[in-house]
Structure 1
Amino acid sequence: MTVDRRGFLTGAATAAGIATVAATAGPGWAEPAPAPIITKLPFPDTAALRILVTGDAGTGARPQWAVADAARALHGEQPFSFALGLGDNVYEQGPWSDDDAQFSAKFEDPNHDLDFPWIMVQGNHDNSSILPGDGGWLLRGDHEVAYHARSPRWFMPSRYYTVPIGALVEFFVLDLNPIAAYLPPLFAPYWAADGQFMTEQAAWLDRALDESTAKWKIVCTHHPYLSNGSHGNAGQYEGLSISPIDGTHVKDFFEAHVLGRAQFLLSGHDHCLQVLEPTGATKGTRQIGSGAAAKTNSGAHATDPARITPSLYENFTDLGFMVLDLTQSSADLTVYTVDPSTAQPTNAFQRRLA
């Protein structure tokens, strides 16, 4: 089904109040239960890490399998330490329970033999309500947190969390869905931009970044701060100026709590591959977008010069993923595109970023 995204979002801005009033007392807007403390497989604490970076993968369709086949080929040649999954893990509307068969069809089966931990991020499609990707049923994402206890590979102990790996790197995984939803929780104070969930997440992030002693600090989100893809920059999402669905609160969150405090911001959401240049606005933080692990933008991208950020590499037509190699002295990024008919990876870009 093809949906006119801009038309839907304009209508959603009008309908959001109705939808949230109806749902305020329902499960979509309730407060989540505290996440249990679960022991998982340890992440490798080595002098060098090789990290598979994917996003927007969870379709279960042939393109996802082709990308996973390409990753398997590389893993056989030079093993990955672990992977990052940057959200939209279960298309199109997210899981219905923590034992939903979609977890097998859209994660376990396509990623067979990629047997290492996967650091997972919540996406808007993982929290769908009325229409796919509207982000309107926030507790749906809690099924993905609960799946953490069922899978030896899927790592999501909470909706937001850190993964420190020795003195080398610390990953800060965020959940910005409450302030990026196309059906925002306008009448659910817990999920509001200034509500308990986002306030506690901001305080946690500030403290975690301040206390981190890692060489590399990497923030992982689904929604980007900057994107030359069709979704666009935070504060201008979808080319709209209708708050809050234009991502105004997302922009404010990044600017208050992330930019200038981490070297890299990794995001999905746009189904493309982007390595953007740091700008004055990002205070030295580099935005990287990897969201082409199952779908592409079909060439769609920003055309307004005011919305375009200078890039080292961008690709809006090909499937693909990235590989981040970290040592104490270097951060090297490689972008691979994937031919969906042959599942062959092609090294499309390689650069030492720091």
Structure 2
Amino acid sequence: MTVDRRGFLSGAATAASVATLAAAAGPAWAEPAPAPSVAKFPYPDSAELRVLITGDAGTGARPQWAVADAIRALHADTPFSLALGLGDNVYESGPWASDDAQFDAKFEAPNHGLDFPWIMVQGNHDNSSILPGDGGWLLRGDHEVAYHARSRRWWMPSRYYSVPVGPPATPVVEFFVLDLNPIAAYLPPLFAPFWAADGQFMTEQAAWLDRALSESTAKWKIVCTHHPYLSNGSHGNAGAYEGLTIEPINGNHVKTFFETHVLGRANYVLSGHDHCLQVLEPTAATKGTRQLVSGAAAKTNSGAHAKGATTPALFENFTDLGFMVLDLTPTSADLGVYTVDPSNGLPVNAFQRRLA
């Protein structure tokens, strides 16, 4: 957010009743999107996949276009199979309707020529209420679900969902898209039981995720969220978001959700939220699950990072725009991190490593 985040968040708990008026009006669909009215770009059935990973892209401003130019340059050389958009898809406050012109200005136009499926995640800015990014108007995110029916690229058939990709009988990867905004909002829905940490939406999402992970036959299981479990960026780790101790806006419920339902069951957690690029190491606490943060597709942290951040990292960049590329086969996972100079829109391979 562009406001004084810490000052705002320190008072957020007492102001939460105001922010939840819109959320309390009724539950979100938590249902599939309408049937598409356009032909969606198909998912590949190949055993070799090239996955573009972006996050926090939806500004419509020149930095987003520069990153998209760099992505197009790579795509022309070695085509991508699909993309992940890790939230904050429509800055600064989210869409007003499923036909909002912001979808074209901040998604379709910048990504022209990148004609493959984009698996989209909801972010806090997509659900804004009083202030940009407060996450206090959760019903707003339903417009992004509805946009699934209008776009060939944009894939968001529900607020949370999974997509197996690869040969139908033996998928290479399954992506599990989560919506943790109800338990990560800076203005939490204290008086909207549907959205509560123990309410219907999160309880049903947790049960679905437990079942979906257990039943998945994919080689790689990848959980996609906007809010990270671990981050050395300025937002920090779940349970200590923004360096705060005030519950629940410090992300304590997010921390519990990851530890109960994700860690040790997924190979990777991919998140945005922090406007930086991080390849963090798995630890005993993560039970082997590796956290990647790719949230620099339109904004950067300008060098800011969490005070006392201690998670070991293979790579970190808090100053440059960029994105990640994950090449997957049934036996390997190779990660590339690319930075982008906004003056020329060219990709620079800043990190390349076989992760598994």
Q: What TM-score range do you get, normalising by the shorter chain? A: over 0.9
- Name the amino acid aligned to 2:184: A
Change in CA separation of 1:185 and 1:312 when aligned onto 2, cut-off 3 Å = same
2:344 aligned residue (342, 345, 354): 342
Structure 1's 221 and 215: CA in aligned 2 closer, same or farther, altered over 3 A?
Answer: same
Secondary structure class of the residue paired with 2:242: helix
CA distance in structure 1 between the aligned counterparts of 2:159 and 2:136, rounded to whole angstroms? 16
Sort the Cα spacing of 1:87 and 1:33 in 2 relative to 1 into closer, same or farther, 3 A.
closer
| 1:243 correspondence with 2:247 | yes
Determine the structure 1 residue equivalent to 2:301.
297
Percent of residue pairs identical:
81
Which residues of structure 2 form unaligned runs of 5+?
A: none
Residue of structure 2 equivalent to 1:153:
153
- Deviation per residue, 1:239-269 (Å, 9 max, x gap): 0000000000000000000000011000000
Structure 1 residue 280: Cα displacement: 1.1
Asked whether the equivalents of residues 56 and 269 of structure 1 are also in contact (C-alpha less than 8 Å), the reply is: yes
Residues 24 and 276 (structure 1), Cα distance of their counterparts in 2 relative to 1, 3 Å cut: closer
Question: Structure 1 counterpart of 2:262, which letter?
Answer: V
> What are the equivalent positions in structure 2 for 1:1-354 lying under 5 Å apart?
2-20=2-20, 22-23=21-22, 25-26=24-25, 29-32=26-29, 34-36=31-33, 38=35, 40-165=40-165, 166=167, 167-304=171-308, 307-354=309-356
CA contact (8 A) 2:23 2:139 kept: no
Query: Under a length normalisation based on structure 1, what TM-score does the superposition of the two structures give?
Result: 0.96
- CA displacement at 1:25 relative to structure 2: 4.5
- Are the counterparts in 2 of residues 93 and 127 from structure 1 also a CA contact under 8 Å? yes
- Report if the CA contact (8 A) 1:163-1:171 is conserved: yes
Aligned counterparts of 2:24 and 2:319: Cα–Cα separation in 1:
42
Using the size of structure 2 for normalisation, the TM-score is 0.96
SS in 1 for 2:11: helix
Please state whether the residue corresponding to 2:349 is helix, strand or coil. strand
Q: Structure 1 unaligned runs (5+)?
A: none
Change (3 A) 1:33 1:158: closer
Q: CA deviation at 1:137?
A: 0.5
Shift of 1:33: 6.2
Contact persistence 2:19–2:188 (CA under 8 A): no
Residue 24 of structure 1, CA deviation: 5.7
RMSD: 1.3
Q: How far does the alpha carbon of each residue in 1:177-222 deviate from its partner, in whole angstroms, 9 at most, with x for none?
A: 0000011000111000000000000000000000001000000000
